[in-house]
Structure 1
Amino acid sequence: MSDVTGDALSSFLGEQLGADVTVADLEEHVEGWSRDTVSFTARWQGDEGEHEQRFVVRAESDAQVESGRRSEGNDIETEYRTMDAAQDAPVPVPTTRWFEGDRSVMGGKFFVVDHRPGDAPVVWDRDQRAHLQEAWDGDSDLPDQFVDAAVGVHEVAPEDVPALENVPAEAVVDREIDRWVEVYRESTVRPEPAVEECIRWFRANKPEVPETTLVHGDFRIGNMLVDGDDLTAVLDWELARVGDPLYDLGYASLQYFAGKLIEPTERPELACSLLEREYLYDEYERRSGRTVNRERVRYWRAFSAFVMMTIGLSGVHQFRQGDTDDVRSAWFQYIVPGLVEDMLAIVREDRT
């Protein structure tokens, strides 16, 4: 972990707030493990009396600093700038506070945001998956808040996020294919015939993208905080980009994000184990006023399986190359077969 310590945080916040700051109750979070994430409580004396607030610091990991290798996502400053650009959008995003690019302060670049209550659901845990399914079967507002979050993300226009490359709509699909195929080629030990067939399908069936918006890029319930029946935050903007808003819908619809590894999940019709896919599409269309072309969503579902499989292979490759000693990267090999299966299942209509 970067040098995220109470003393370092006290010193940094003292400079930002112009006060003596004490830091306590540091808690390391394993979610979003491509970066180091720590929540803590800060106390200081201000003009209006004593203040106490809980914050979260998100920092480059040691592997990122030592190897100089970026992950497949954006650098940490771009992640912060993207979250900052989404502050006024109707989507729950933690309030952004400070970005620090000087690695000497805490061993890596980092940013600080306000803490939000709740936990990130783990859909591969049977009990947590069942809790999400109950939200759909009962009278919880959580499924509708999920839809609203997607609509809110896509209300941010490309020009409002200057930290991201503003790609023309007609170039979006080729950008995605070229980017992720390159990572796949770098990460795989040998070409997999089934994957090569899907890559050919991606190139032969490129959808027409009529518009671009901010796209979260990793839009799933596991990257959100849930407090009871409330969706309190959308986190992990590392894969954000300008793109087709329907990408996020296709990505969220992967069975992998409903808890599937090799064996099918109990409720394959539920996106993120939380709401029926068709309900997600219909309600998103109604609330956003944007037509949800089912063939385009199908394309992005297949492509998202390829993206997630490639991220898994990249993690294994980094472990094999010695870029990381985190055994979770090695574990990623086990997600690959199920995602290849999903890719083939989605495109099978054009393979028969």
Structure 2
Amino acid sequence: MESSAVGTELSTMLSQLLDDAEIQGLHRLSGGASRETWRFEADGRPLILQRQRAGDERDMLIEAGVVRAAGRGGAPVPDLLDARRRDDGMAFMVLEAIDGETIARKILRDDEFATARPRLVADFGAALARIHALDVESIPGLLRTDQVEYYTGVLDGLGQPHPVLELVRNWLLDFRPAAGRTSLVHGDFRLGNMIVGPEGLRAVIDWELAHLGDPMEDLGWLCVKAWR
């Protein structure tokens, strides 16, 4: 059990939220740039609490809506039990905890995943097909984000020369193909944001970068060598 006052406060809040369930084993997990992630059990059921951090401009309630829609559409995602906004304006959500591995090095090398590895490309393709087929009108709050324009703004805002990045940006502006249809885009579809078991893909997680855009974005990012 997390011994801090924060842990005690969270346990009380979660018990009230989950119909006076007994909260056990609450502990904070490492990782996560934009949110705190905690694991716990409620009456023996393993669950995850994710809390938006102060300063994060993305609305976690939009992400929660994406997870709900993805689940309804048959994509492999954790069940979402609840999502609300705190008094300080930041949001949180409670999800099913799914066992498995997210670390790319282990998925790609460990014997435990030898059977899963030949299946992952098909699993990822099937998951993306479900995601990209979702009715985007059913997901409120999503914005269409042109990734080249967005990151051009980020690069220009640095106020420092970065010749390699500028060369890549200019190449993309000159040669990128015309955009296809608009769909839901996960935005960070890669190893690290997949929960994998010995049998294959179990869940797609971490939807905070989801937006409307060209579905080829997800395929392109998955193929970047850093994530293989």
Q: Which amino acid in the other structure matches residue 38 of structure 1? A: W
Q: Does 1:215 align with 2:202?
A: no
Instruction: Say which of 130, 137, 146 aligns to 2:124.
Output: 146
Work out whether residues 154 and 215 of structure 1, in 8 Å CA contact, stay in contact via their aligned partners in 2: yes
Which of 1 and 2 has greater Rg? Answer: 1
Are 2:34 and 2:56, in contact at CA under 8 Å, matched by a contact in 1?
no
Paired AA for residue 132 in structure 2: H
- Aligned equivalent of 1:83: 67
State the percentage of identical aligned residues. 28
TM-aligned CA deviation for residue 203 of structure 1: 1.5
Match for residue 102 of structure 2 among 117, 120, 130: 120
Shift of 1:140: 4.7
Q: Are 1:82 and 1:163, in contact at CA under 8 Å, matched by a contact in 2?
A: no
Q: Distance in 1 between matches of 2:6 and 2:62?
A: 20
- The Cα offsets for residues 7-31 of structure 1, whole Å up to 9 and x where unpaired, read as 42333442x344x322111232224
Call closer, same or farther: CA 1:139–1:204 in 2, change over 3 Å. Answer: closer
2:51 is matched with which residue?
59
Q: CA deviation at 1:139?
A: 7.6
Shift of 1:184: 2.1
- Does residue 164 (structure 1) correspond to residue 135 (structure 2)? The answer is no
Consecutive unaligned residues in structure 1, runs of 5 or more: 44-51, 259-352
8 Å CA contact 2:101, 2:197 repeated in 1: yes
Q: Are the equivalent residues in 2 in contact too, given 1:135–1:142 (CA < 8 A)?
A: no
RMSD of aligned Cα (Å): 2.7
- Supply the distance in 1 between the matched residues of 2:29 and 2:18 (Cα, whole angstroms): 25
Higher relative contact order structure (alpha carbons within 8 Å, sequence separation ≥ 6): 2
Q: Using a 3 Å threshold, how does the CA distance of structure 1 residues 82 and 4 change in structure 2: closer, same or farther?
A: farther
The TM-score, its normalising length taken from structure 2, stands at 0.86
Report 1:151-300 matches (<5 A). Answer: 151-165=129-143, 167=144, 175-186=146-157, 188=158, 190-258=160-228
Amino acid at match of 1:56: I
Map Cα deviations across residues 194-215 of structure 1 (whole Å, 9 max, x no partner).
Answer: 2212212221223212311111
Q: Secondary structure at the match of 2:110?
A: helix
State the distance in 2 between where 1:56 and 1:155 align: 27
> For residue 108 of structure 2, what is the aligned residue in structure 1?
129
Q: CA deviation at 1:134?
A: 6.7
Which residue of the partner structure matches residue 28 of structure 1? 28
Equivalent-residue separation in structure 1 for 2:7 and 2:86 (angstroms): 16
1:47-101 alpha-carbon deviations (Å, 9 max, x no partner): xxxxx3111100123xxx1xx353xxx3222211211221212211111111121
Mapped pair 1:98 → 2:77: no
Alignment size in residue pairs: 225
Q: What code does the residue aligned with 2:63 have?
A: E
CA distance, structure 1, for counterparts of residue 159 and residue 111 of structure 2? 37
Work out the CA distance in 1 between the residues paired with 2:52 and 2:103.
Answer: 23
User: Shift of the alpha carbon at 1:141?
Assistant: 3.1
Answer whether contact 2:23 2:40 (CA < 8 A) is retained. Answer: yes
> Deviations for 1:249-298, whole angstroms, at most 9, x for unmatched residues?
0000001112xxxxxxxxxxxxxxxxxxxxxxxxxxxxxxxxxxxxxxxx
**Cα drift, residue 216 of structure 1:** 0.3
Structure 2: gaps (5+ residues): none
Amino acid in structure 2 at the alignment position of 1:197: L
Letter of the structure 1 residue corresponding to residue 24 of structure 2: A
